[in-house]
Amino acid sequence: MFEITRKKELNPTVTLMDIKAPYMAKKAEPGQFIILRVDEDGERIPLTIADFDREAGTVTIIFQVVGATTEKLNHLNEGDCVHDFVGPLGVATETEGLKKVAVVGGGVGCAIAYPIAKKLHNNGCVVHSVVGFRTKDLVILEDEFKAASDALYVMTDDGSHGEKGLVTDALKNLIESGEKYDEVIVIGPLVMMKFVCLLTKQYGIKTVVSMNPVMVDGTGMCGGCRLTVGGKTKFACVDGPDFDGHEVDFDEAIARSGMYKGFERKCHEDTCNLFKGVRNDG
């Protein structure tokens, strides 16, 4: 069992938790992920490692409440435990040798982008962070990004915070103003990553994306997380989650990501109704 030592609501649908996992905290690196089960009968879900504290022996996860398992997880509190917490899994983000990088995050994907920006900044790299959200109420980790960036650009679709527009607008302005990046690292919704990659390809800037397709076992055996990258089949859990964004078949990934939405929605509704019943019964 793995104890929840801290729980914090970042916005109405996104929650941060610190999990006591000392052996994992010793090995964790930005870009890697864990797989957890809330209880013995629960499903396995992957969550990216948002941060870690080697001295305290904790690993930080940030998740959006979108399905049955995240709904159950969000009903746990400090002092409660998750049944399984396995990792670190996947290949850590390559940061060595980079001198100037644009880190682009969208929505809850900023939870993945932040530890990468933090490590790059600690390595002496110049970091320009561009983060995007639909509206002010959904902004997360703004102060953390400020501390880990030489420049931070916050974009909202409705202009309620930061600048109005998309992350591609801010990134294009930076590139056309003369900023020269060794690499762009982008993490967020598939459509957002696709259009960032289309933009950077025009300028010949290497772009790395973090892919999070459907995943079950995290060892490459189930095949659920397969992607087409450079015309070849890759598995996000063992070959990634980072890939060359200019080689990812985003249209295929987007189509596959919607396969289970109806099923997931039904499970989420059933779980919400279950918790409502618990509350109503006292």
In order of their start, the domains of the chain are 2-89 (2.40.30.10), 100-257 (3.40.50.80)
What is the Cα–Cα distance from 150 to 123, expressed in whole angstroms?
13
- Whether residue 48 is predicted with pLDDT greater than 50 in this model: the reply is yes
Give percent of the chain with pLDDT exceeding 90.
Answer: 77
**Dihedral, CA atoms, 64, 66, 72, 77, nearest 10 degrees?**
20
- For residue 282, the model assigns a pLDDT of 44
Closest CA to 206 of 249, 240, 250, 247: 247
Q: Which of 117, 45, 118, 137 is nearest to 82 (CA)?
A: 45
pLDDT at 257: 76
- On whether the pTM is more than 0.75, the answer is yes
Q: Predicted confidence band at 42 (pLDDT cuts at 50, 70, 90)?
A: confident
Residue 234 pairs in a beta bridge with 227
| Least confident among 1-10, 124-133, 230-239, 251-260 | 251-260
The pLDDT value given to residue 138: 94
Is residue 272 very low, low, confident or very high in pLDDT (cuts 50, 70, 90)? low
pLDDT band at 261 (very low <50, low <70, confident <90, very high): low
pLDDT at residue 214, rounded to an integer: 76
d(CA 60, CA 125): 23
User: If pLDDT is split at 50, 70 and 90, which confidence band does 273 have?
Assistant: low
**Average pLDDT of the residues of the chain:** 90
Query: Ranked by mean pLDDT, which of 150-164, 206-220, 249-263 comes out on top?
Result: 150-164
Instruction: State the pLDDT at residue 222.
Output: 77
Residue 96 and residue 39: Cα distance in Å, rounded? Answer: 38
Whether 31 has a pLDDT exceeding 80, the answer reads: yes
DSSP conformational letter for 248: B
Using alpha carbons, list the distances in angstroms from residue 104 to 109, 186, 208, 231, 235.
9, 4, 10, 25, 23
At 146, which helix (H) or strand (E)? helix 142-147
Which of 31-35, 64-68, 102-106 has the largest mean confidence?
102-106
Reported confidence tier of residue 268, pLDDT bands at 50, 70, 90: very low
